[in-house]
Amino acid sequence: MTFPFNVYLLAVVSACITVLATLPLWRKWCLRTGLVDEPGPRKIHDQPIPLAGGLAVMTGLLIPTLLACLALWLQGPRGGLINPPSTVHTLVRLALLKPDSAFLLQYGLGRRALELAGIFLGAFGMLWVGWLDDKRELRPGAKFAGQLVVAALVAASGARITLFVPSIIFSYAITILWILTVINAFNFMDNMNGLCAGLGAIGTYHFALIAAAGGQYLVASSPS
């Protein structure tokens, strides 16, 4: 079976459209609730900026994923509609295009559902910790403790780095260290509007290309 590039492209396009559509709504909500980034010595902006980027990015991850799961459920032989209405069937076919694509994604999601759920819950957890920090200015110790708990829960879901070392303690430690390092590296460099989102897009683009070249269709679609 070939790599489902149609699903890869659809993931990128749907995420971009979702973010573009929801960002103005999140921006208005942030302004209304006072969730803004005030000017400071390490900031280049001279007026409050709505902290809507993370909310929009999370929305861009969540909505396309839920719609993709719904499309797979409608097309799948188990739990889906045996004879779906023609309109629904047409939409599902347009979304997946090739029968092999649906099979590959159903197989991958069936094997990695727990890990993917852990990653999504971890993303929500980090978003929540960041929201609390922006709203109440958490102490460094409390903020780090929250990040540590979230990273440990992600590792417990099974989404762990092994580096081919047969040790569960090592896999937990290196996974938690990697998550905390990446999260705080982004936090420290976040002094310009759009900088973190831009660097994140560049990073996920290259991760996706490497995964696609290796035939890791589910990994390549996830960061897209």
Looking up tokens 């403790």 gives 145
Question: DSSP readout, 28-58?
Answer: HHHHHHT-EE---TT---SS-EE--HHHHHH
* pLDDT per residue as tens digits for the range 92-106: 555 555 556 666 677
Instruction: Among 24-28, 49-53, 192-196, name the one with the lowest average pLDDT.
Output: 192-196
Average pLDDT over residues 15-42: 86
pLDDT band at 135 (very low <50, low <70, confident <90, very high): confident
pLDDT higher at 141 or 103: 141
Neighbours of 162 (CB within 10 A): 12
Kindly give the residue spans of alpha helices, DSSP state H, lying in 53-189.
53-75, 86-96, 99-136, 140-156, 168-189
From the list 134, 111, 108, 112, the residue with the least C-alpha distance to 51 is 134
Instruction: Return the higher-pLDDT residue of 18 and 101.
Output: 18
- Check: CB of residue 183 under 8 Å from CB of residue 126: yes
| Residue 81: predicted pLDDT | 43
Euclidean distance between CA atoms 217 and 162, whole angstroms: 20
Please give the mean pLDDT across all residues of the chain. 79
> Does 199 have pLDDT greater than 90?
no
Please report which confidence band the pLDDT of residue 22 belongs to, taking 50, 70 and 90 as the band edges: very high
Parallel/antiparallel/unpaired status of strands 49-50 and 36-37: antiparallel
Higher pLDDT, 112 or 59: 59
More confident residue, 143 or 12: 143
Q: What is the pLDDT of residue 79?
A: 43
pLDDT at 45 over 70: no
**pTM value surpassing 0.85:** no
